[in-house]
Amino acid sequence: MVKGRTIWNFTAVVGAVALVGIVLGTVERSDAQPPDPADSTSAVVTGGYLHFPKILVHTTGDLANPALAGDDFAMDTVIQITNTSDVRVTANCFYVTAVSRCGSATGPVCRDDSECVPGIRCLPTWSSDDFRIDFTPLQPIGWSAATGLSILPCGIGGVCPGNPGQSGQIPVVSVDPFVGELRCIQVETDDDGMATGPTTDSDLIGKATIVESGPFSGPSEVLAAGYNAIGFQGVSSDALGTDACFGGAPAGANCGVTYTPCAAHLSLQHFFEGAETPAGFVSTHLTLSPCSTELEIGDVFAPSNRVVAQMLVYNEFEQRFSIAEPVDCVETQRLVDIDTPAGPSGDSSSIFSIGTQGTLGGQTRIRGVSDDSGFGRGIVGLAHQYFSASMGGTPTSSSAYHVNGELAAQPDPDAVYGPLFQ
């Protein structure tokens, strides 16, 4: 009896200690828990939804669009998407064009007001173009964004051992120069390869390399910056749904597939602008793209396509600076242009300048600010660095890397509004 009581008491003590320990542990590590394995939104996992936040093309231009000249670099993006499964897979893809145009959505492409007729402003525009890729088992497909693929490798005339037939083509991007992104979503298909609806299958990986050559006036450099597409894994599906949801179902969304969530906030590790590294002086271009979007709406300022990004900038002295920046559709800008006018004017006054911060590196935490619109405020980010031998000189090297993201609970889930699965 005494022994039994001792055991019970021991159990009680151990249990109580465990309870207290867990509670304390929970409190102590409330912000330090690793993500759930189901929350695998990452550049190193296979996904049912792929997001390439930065696609660039500028090969020549024409009379209506700015042609390459002077210090311009020609650029193209080599894209590769692979089906990692042993069965056929179909993906619906969407190029999102986010170029600026003079005066209206039909005006000539421009990069700033100086390329428009005097008195006409260079305005941001937005549109999307869709296409379908039919993958054979384990097939990798690659293409240049500037040229596309008129016939997929195992299509008409393609010599493939299994010869399952392969339909579809990959279009050329809608305009040259092109600035935008690519989103691809895996869909359910029938035996004929026709899309029939949503699926949680997550078999795709993607990789993009932005290749540049220049300057136009005397080419001497090749630049290559590669990055993996962000993959989102399917968690649940509804055969009647039309939209892609992330981390839950926002009000008004008809979720065909609910995927793992967008990051609640981003952490960009970067060099400050003008920092001198062994590879040269650094200039960083940051691309931010809202997770939520309405692909059928061509309004760049639509509430669904806009996120206000709040940024906290830390240097190596633990000093903190902050700034807020609206992000419409998908935007790329030099770090120092976030808080100063575009171009070199005012760069030295930027909080992203090494002259202001005084340290080589920094961390910028980025969070989409919630509002009452009902749209999610997740953001995907990509850093694209250029290195040159002198400050502001011709780039000699480039690289791209993902902005880190933490998968804490999002107050508002994100959604891409379709229809996406047909």
Partner 1 sequence: MRTFAVRPAVTAGALGLAFALAATSASAQDSYTVEQPTSVLIFPKVVNDEGRDTVLQVTNNHNVMVYAHCFYTDGQTINGVPRWTVTDFQLNLTRQQTTTWPASTGRPQNPSDDQNGIDPGGVPPTVDGFTGSLVCVQIGSSHGNPIGGNSLTGRASVAGADYNAVGIPGINVDGDKTLMLDGLEYARCPSSYHLDFVTPGSGGAVALGSMVGFGLGDAVATVSTSLTVVPCNYDFATFFPASVRLGFNPIVDEFENRNSVGTAEDVVCWENVQLDNAVFELGPSTFNTARVNGNDSTGAAAPFVGVANVLRVGGTSLGMDSATTNLHAVTGALADGQIIIP
Near partner 1 in 31-90, by CB under 8 A = 31-37, 40, 42-46, 57, 59-60, 74-78, 80, 82, 84
Question: Does residue 207 belong to the site contacting partner 1 (CB under 8 A)?
Answer: yes
Choose the binding region for partner 1 from 23-31, 238-246, 249-257, 325-333 (rule: CB under 8 A): 23-31
Q: Given candidates 349, 406, 419, 422, which one binds partner 1 under the rule CB under 8 A?
A: 406
Question: Does residue 141 belong to the site contacting partner 1 (CB under 8 A)?
Answer: yes
Q: Given candidates 89, 102, 122, 146, which one binds partner 1 under the rule CB under 8 A?
A: 146
Instruction: Kindly state the smallest distance separating residue 289's Cβ from partner 1, in Å.
Output: 15
Choose the binding region for partner 1 from 28-36, 114-122, 248-256, 410-418 (rule: CB under 8 A): 28-36
C-beta of 233 vs 304, nearer to partner 1: 233
Question: Does residue 147 belong to the site contacting partner 1 (CB under 8 A)?
Answer: yes
Choose the binding region for partner 1 from 88-96, 100-108, 269-277, 321-329 (rule: CB under 8 A): 269-277
Q: Given candidates 129, 216, 248, 254, which one binds partner 1 under the rule CB under 8 A?
A: 216
Instruction: Kindly state the smallest distance separating residue 372's Cβ from partner 1, in Å.
Output: 29
C-beta of 137 vs 346, nearer to partner 1: 137
Three-state secondary structure string covering the chain = CHHHHHHHHHHHHHHHHHHHHHHHHHHHCCCCCCCCCCCCCECCCCECEEEEEEEEEECCCCCCCCCCCCCCCEEEEEEEEEECCCCCEEEEEEEEECCEEECCCCCCEECCHHHCCCCCCEEECCEEEEEEEEECCCCEEEEECCCCECCCCCCCCCCCCCCCCCCCCECCCCCCCEEEEEEEEEEEECCCCCEEEECCCCCEEEEEEEEEEECCCCCCEEEEEEEECEEECEEEECCCCCEEEECCCCCCCCEEEEECCCCCEEEEEEECECCEECCEEEEEEEEEEECCEECCCCCCCCHHHEEEEEEEEECCCCCEEEEEEEEECCEEEEHHHCCCCCCCCCHHHCCCEHHHHCCCEEEEEEEECCCCCCCCCCEEEEEEEEEECCCCCCEEEEEEEECEEECCCCCCCEEEECCCCC
Q: Given candidates 90, 97, 100, 136, which one binds partner 1 under the rule CB under 8 A?
A: 136
Looking at residues 381 to 400 of the shown chain, list those that interact with partner 1 (rule: CB under 8 A).
Answer: 383, 385, 387, 396-400
Instruction: Kindly state the smallest distance separating residue 205's Cβ from partner 1, in Å.
Output: 5
